[in-house]
Copies of this chain bind each other. A is one copy, B any other.
Amino acid sequence: MTKGEETRQFIIEKAAPIFNIKGIAATSMSDIMEATRLSKGSMYVHFENKDVLACAAVDHNIKVLGDKLLSKLSKCKTAKEELFTYIDFFSNAVHPPLTGGCPLLNFGTEADDTNPIVKEKVNKGINFNQQLLEKSITKGINNGEFKPNWNAADFATVVFAMMEGGHLISRMSSNNDKMQIITKTLKNIIEENSL
């Protein structure tokens, strides 16, 4: 990795949590300068403008979160274990895997009506999550862990939606109680569909 690539990566890593916490619009290039201790000119050597940097930061946040999740999932043996691991991974909304909370929720709501590029990145991230869940369920059905008539795609959507909704509720109240109701409910449904 050349010096330039190293610096570019360094900027992204410093910028990513700031964008996730403050949002794209509310984050200034000065914020990134302060965090990286780099000059303004240097930032523009590696990113042609703020939008490009913001996009790179969005990508990085989503990727880091996905990698952490995949790392946990790779240690699972059964499909049920995978689903429980997924739920547990996101179960603490007050102290979530990424500072600032879920980037799909944060960037998604901000980009919604204003930034189609970021919106599409978030959409892909959501689909990735749902497909992960669906694969685990299908795997569990195929190997006899789960009831064969369970609708994998539908439950994948339900899990993702409930976790994101619970995330919102618990972050707004700075209290994880409601998120625990969500995780408990989801785990009960999984148990009901286990053989």
Q: Give chain A's interface residues, CB within 8 Å of chain B.
A: 21-23, 25-26, 100-101, 104-106, 108-110, 112-114, 119, 122-123, 126-127, 130, 153-154, 157-158, 160-166, 168-169, 171-173, 178, 181-182, 184-185
Contact = CB atoms under 8 A, between A and B. Distances in A.
A168 B22 contact: no
A168 B160 CA distance: 10
A158 B182 contact: yes
Contacts of A23: 23, 25, 110, 114
Given A161-B162, A165-B165, A109 B105 contact: yes
The 8 closest A-B pairs by CB, nearest first: A161-B165, A25-B26, A164-B165, A165-B165, A123-B172, A25-B25, A109-B109, A161-B166
A162 to B, nearest CB: 5
17 contacts: A21-B114, A22-B114, A26-B114, A101-B112, A105-B168, A126-B168, A153-B181, A154-B181, A154-B184, A157-B178, A158-B185, A160-B169, A161-B164, A161-B169, A161-B182, A162-B162, A164-B165
B168 A108 contact: yes
Contacts of A21: 113-114
